Structure 1
Amino acid sequence: MAQNDRVVAGIDVAKDKVDACIRSLSLRQTCPSGAQGRRKLMVWLRKHQVGRAVMEASGGYERVWAKVLREAGIEVRIVDPKRVRNFALSAGRLAKNDAIDAEMIAWFAETFSDAPSQAYNAAHEELQTLVKARLSLIDFRMRLVSRSEHAAAGLVQKGHAHILKSLASEIAKLEAAICAKVKSIPDFAERAEIIESVPGFAETSSANIVAGMPELGQVSDKIAAALIGVAPYDDDSGKRRGERHIKGGRRWVRNAIYMPCVGAATLNNPVLKAYYQRLIAKGKEPKVALIACMRKLIVILNSMIARRQKWDPGRYALS
């Protein structure tokens, strides 16, 4: 039997090993990290004709294994650990260890086999790595600046100043690399140009969106809003009508474009500004109005990228 998607392996990745489970065949395997362990896993997967391997995002440890699996012709899906854990809890599986996790990943993948999976793109992964690295350094810089305000004068402040100078240099290098990467890939460059045509969004913001939302232009507006985590969810039961709240989504992308969206909604973008002011006039809290503007923006960008059209205030003016 040829490799096919019906044979699914759940793989739990740790720093020094992986645990794999083919739940449909009641089979398990543990392999150490390193070249020998990877070869052992490939032999085992091929023996049992696995066509799809599913693993959780695990801080980067999964990348090497995913690369090897893809090179072997096995489809790879990277899933959210929170979704798998919530799935396990909903099934009454309270125990947790690596072997159990591998089984739960396999069960999750079998249950949600039709869930969309973003096709692997090496260039996109590299861009996302650069963008996330930049955001991490900026976050570290902000925390260090906050600490420096309370540091005693002398050696500590000098040390902080030296580190901040180094951080500025490294951030600048990453920004140059991000810019070069976007320009080197025609699809990235086109998407960035479309995003940057929106008043209030420049190179940094467009790179965050290109890296964090590759699905834009290929999914429905509801899915686009859910992916970034600005889709409101009902909280009703019987006659009770609870407040709607946003949940889930890619927090790092949402956080990265929050401030640009604030600027667009309050200063730079006439369409979003009019929408924001209308919501405030209706009694909405400023933060609620800003999240609504972010949702509207993602919907607009989804349409713009799908149509390959730049910003047109007449087309996107909100009634």
Structure 2
Amino acid sequence: MAQIVPTVGIDVSKDRLDVAVHPVDERFSVSNDEAGWRALVRRLKPLGARAIGLEASGGYERGAIIALFKAGLPVRSVNAWKLRQFAKAAGLLAKNDRLDARAIAWFVATLPSREIRHDPAVEHLAELVRTRRQLVDALQQIGNQSEHLRDAGLHRLQVRRLRQLERDLAELDRRIAQAIAASPALSARQELLCSMPGVGPVLAATLIALLPELGTLGNRQAGALVGVVPYDFDSGRMKGLRCIFGGRAAIRRVLFMAAQAAAMWNPILKTFKQRLRAAGKKPKVAIVAVMRKLIVTLNAMVRENAPWRLTTA
């Protein structure tokens, strides 16, 4: 009789980690702190689990992930939306921390999930990049609000906030550049990415931090992870409108702006977009296609460790 290799699901909250082991239905909880992480490793290491799944939980999962990774355990990242759809399909309609842990364990036992890579330099860069995005969002929000203020005192207050945010953004850009320069591997990756016209330091840093898999993926995988692959919506004779779905929105937002610039200054992508528009494609469809071609080209450049050339794309 074949030996059953278990899988583990961990539901993360601020103060607690709820753990479920599949298929033996073992459950336990530990505190989400250093003592709890040590207890978690002690409980899980003897199991020989082939996968330990967690979903992102606003950063509360990081300590547990690092502890599991240092112990040499196979940590997997679980997409929250896919997990919920899986749970519904499996009949797990109720939702609480213990049931979520059970669903995660079942999910990683049934479906492929992404292996988490632990690189302190990349994790630090990711923290800086995410904070930069929050600052950019705040700048945009306050800028939009200040345009409609009639109270002069409130307007001055918002202007001061804008100026401070702009200084903070400049400081973050400096720290992001320092973080990349401090790592020869990250610095080389940035230089490679920025060799392509239309790719600047913001997109390069975003891809390095939030898409570390770049260069190890197939073309469709790369597009799907960013969320720029159109999916069919057909049934019988009905031919539905293709649309993009899912992916990492934080990357897609930056990629959209980069694609706009690349479609003007990159000779291959400029011709590509013009050809699509001449064929009757709508502007948004054309720019999404440029985004997809851009990320696929960068993926190939990183995979081959080859800078951009006019014949690359």
Which TM-score bucket, shorter chain as reference? Answer: over 0.9
Alignment partner of 1:131 out of 106, 126, 129: 129
TM-score, normalisation: structure 1:
0.92
2:294 paired with 1:294: no
Residue 279 of structure 1 corresponds to: 276
Aligned equivalents of 2:125, 2:295: Cα separation in 1: 20
Alignment partner of 1:147 out of 145, 148, 169: 145
Check conservation: 2:78, 2:114, Cα contact below 8 A.
Answer: no
Residue 184 of structure 2 corresponds to: 186
Q: Structure 1 residues 38, 215: closer, same or farther in 2, change over 3 A?
A: closer
C-alpha displacement at 1:44, in angstroms? 2.4
Aligned residues: 311
Aligned equivalents of 2:71, 2:258: Cα separation in 1: 42
Percent sequence identity is: 38
Check conservation: 1:11, 1:20, Cα contact below 8 A.
Answer: yes
2:301 paired with 1:304: yes
C-alpha displacement at 1:188, in angstroms? 1.6
C-alpha displacement at 1:255, in angstroms? 0.5
Q: Deviations over 1:154-197 (max 9, x none)?
A: 33222212221221121111111111111222222222112211
Q: Structure 1 residues 66, 262: closer, same or farther in 2, change over 3 A?
A: same
Aligned equivalents of 1:35, 1:216: Cα separation in 2: 32
Q: Structure 1 residues 141, 7: closer, same or farther in 2, change over 3 A?
A: same
Q: Which aligned segments of 4 or more residues in structure 1 are displaced greater than 3 angstroms?
A: 46-52
Residue 202 of structure 1 corresponds to: 200
2:310 paired with 1:313: yes
Match runs of 1:1-319 below 5 Å: 6-50=5-49, 52-112=51-111, 114-265=112-263, 267-316=264-313
Task: Tell me the secondary structure at the aligned position of residue 23 of structure 2.
Answer: helix
TM-score, normalisation: structure 2:
0.94
Q: Name the Cα RMSD after superposition.
A: 1.8
Task: Tell me the secondary structure at the aligned position of residue 46 of structure 1.
Answer: helix
C-alpha displacement at 1:116, in angstroms? 4.1
C-alpha displacement at 1:50, in angstroms? 4.0
Aligned equivalents of 1:123, 1:51: Cα separation in 2: 27
Q: Deviations over 1:54-108 (max 9, x none)?
A: 1110110000111122222222112211111111111122100000000000000
Aligned equivalents of 1:229, 1:75: Cα separation in 2: 26
Aligned equivalents of 1:73, 1:217: Cα separation in 2: 24
